[in-house]
């Protein structure tokens, strides 16, 4: 799966996220949980981790646990239970290494890859948290639209700084336009969301462009979901700073 196809699918996934936010809080949480499962399926393959089944299981538990913890939390701060989930998931990553029966080859690589995956899926819970902020639907939809614009533009066959600039500008334009068009939001938070989405997509394109494992379907799925998952906490932070 080439970079353009992955970018288009990321944009489509971001559009589905916006639809889920319009429908309600439960569909948004279900969408975030689905993203964590898809990511857990492919991340160990993408990094060629030595224990893909165990690492994927740990990442999936962390992702579902983080989404469930944030969804079940009432009152503020809505992310107050998330550090507990992260801490327990990191411990579970070490338990996974202790349970390996292959001589624990590439131990450091396995632990760091699994823990990185844990942090990424826990970031996806930020979408659920964003649904609890003032202007919740507007914030989530604007973040999703900015990401969709940036992802769609990153499919254009431009390399180097030209591609990065076009991707960032597209994210800013999409986020700014969505921010102006949504109630309880305005231009500035839309631009901030667009800038973050553009920088993220441009960086990931350069980072993943020559990764050989992306020829495998499961690894490509993880690369498609990665920007959507990471953006969750970014959107929540922007909402807390600009909306309240």
| Predicted pLDDT at 29 | 93
| More reliable by pLDDT, 244 or 200 | 200
| Predicted pLDDT at 76 | 75
- List pLDDT tens digits, range 45-80: 999 999 999 999 999 999 999 999 999 987 778 888
Place of tokens 């979408």: 127
Q: What is the pTM for the complete model shown?
A: 0.90
- List pLDDT tens digits, range 213-244: 888 999 999 999 999 999 999 999 888 887 76
Mean pLDDT of the chain: 89
Per cent of the chain over pLDDT 90 is 54
User: Is there a contact between 146 and 174 (Cβ–Cβ < 8 Å)?
Assistant: yes
Separation CA 138–CA 107 (nearest Å) = 44
- List pLDDT tens digits, range 119-146: 999 999 999 998 877 777 888 999 999 9
Place of tokens 């993880």: 222
| More reliable by pLDDT, 108 or 155 | 108
Backbone angles phi, psi at 217, to 5 degrees: -60, -45
| Predicted pLDDT at 244 | 61
Separation CA 195–CA 167 (nearest Å) = 9
Query: Does residue 179 surpass a pLDDT of 90?
Result: no
At 81, is the secondary structure helix, strand, or coil? Answer: coil
- Domain-wise residue ranges, the chain: 3-242
| Predicted pLDDT at 184 | 74
Give the DSSP letter of residue 76. Answer: S
Separation CA 3–CA 34 (nearest Å) = 22
Residue 27: in which H helix or E strand, if any?
Answer: helix 25-46
Average pLDDT over residues 189-203: 90
| Predicted pLDDT at 228 | 94
Average pLDDT over residues 6-12: 90
Separation CA 145–CA 139 (nearest Å) = 10
């Amino acid at each position: 799966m080439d970079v353009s196809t992955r970018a288009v699918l990321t944009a489509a996934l971001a559009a589905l996220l916006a639809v889920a936010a319009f429908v309600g809080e439960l569909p948004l949480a279900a969408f975030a949980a689905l993203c964590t499962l898809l990511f857990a399926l492919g991340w160990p393959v993408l990094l060629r981790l030595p224990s893909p089944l165990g690492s994927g299981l740990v990442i999936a538990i962390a992702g579902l646990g983080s989404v469930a913890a944030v969804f079940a939390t009432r009152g503020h701060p809505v992310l107050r239970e998330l550090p507990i989930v992260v801490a327990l998931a990191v411990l579970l990553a070490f338990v996974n290494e202790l349970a390996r029966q292959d001589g624990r080859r590439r131990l450091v690589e396995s632990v760091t890859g699994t823990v990185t995956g844990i942090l990424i899926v826990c970031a996806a819970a930020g979408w659920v948290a964003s649904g609890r902020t003032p202007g919740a639907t507007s914030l989530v939809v604007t973040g999703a639209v900015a990401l969709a614009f940036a992802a769609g533009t990153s499919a254009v066959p431009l390399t180097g700084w030209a591609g990065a600039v076009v991707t960032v500008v597209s994210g800013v334009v999409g986020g700014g336009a969505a921010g102006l068009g949504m109630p309880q939001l305005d231009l500035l938070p839309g631009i901030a969301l667009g800038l973050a989405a553009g920088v993220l997509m441009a960086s990931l394109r350069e980072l993943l462009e020559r990764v050989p494992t992306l020829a495998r379907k499961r690894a490509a799925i993880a690369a498609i979901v990665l920007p959507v998952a990471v953006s969750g906490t970014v959107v929540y932070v922007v909402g807390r700073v600009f909306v309240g």
